Each structure stands twice: as structure tokens, then as C-alpha cells.
Amino acid sequence: MSKENLVLRLNRVSCKGCGICVAFCPTNVLAIVEDNKCKIVNLEACIKCGQCELRCPDYAIYLEEASGE
């Protein structure tokens, strides 16, 4: 599967706001916002490296195959 076919997804219900994904994102795609949870703030900058998915202890953020969006 190529990176072009992947899309970044975030399950904010599962997110506990630890900030690990934000710290490891090399392109500042993510931020902890006012409700103390992660938010995708700059999706266009995502290089789909998977560092957020790899590090999230709650499996709240992940890359998945796009569904023809």
C-alpha cells in the first residue's frame, strides 16, 4: 500500500491528551487544544510517516486506507 492511499484518522473519544503524538510529529500536523485532547490542525502538512500511530498508547490516531473520498 502506498502512502498516497493513506489518510490520517483520529478517534478523539479514545484520546487522553497525553501529547506524545504531537511531540513526535515532524511536521506539526497535530496539537493539543482547549479540551486537552489531540486535534488534527494541519492535515495538508502530513507526510504519513506513522510516528503518531506508532507512539500513541491508546491507539487513538492511525493511518488507514482511503475509501475513495
Q: Mind giving me the DSSP string for 2-37?
A: -GGGEEEEE-TTT-----HHHHH-TT--EEE-TTSS
Domain ranges of the chain: 3-62
Instruction: Please write down the long-range contacts of 34-41, taking CB distance under 8 Å and 24 or more positions apart.
Output: 37/12, 38/10, 38/12, 39/10, 39/12, 40/8, 40/10
Considering the four listed CATH numbers 3.30.870.10, 3.40.50.11030, 3.30.70.20, 3.40.190.290, the one that applies to the domain covering 3-62 is 3.30.70.20
pLDDT in tens, the chain (69 residues): 678 899 999 999 999 999 999 999 999 999 999 999 999 999 999 999 999 999 999 999 999 998 864
pTM: 0.88
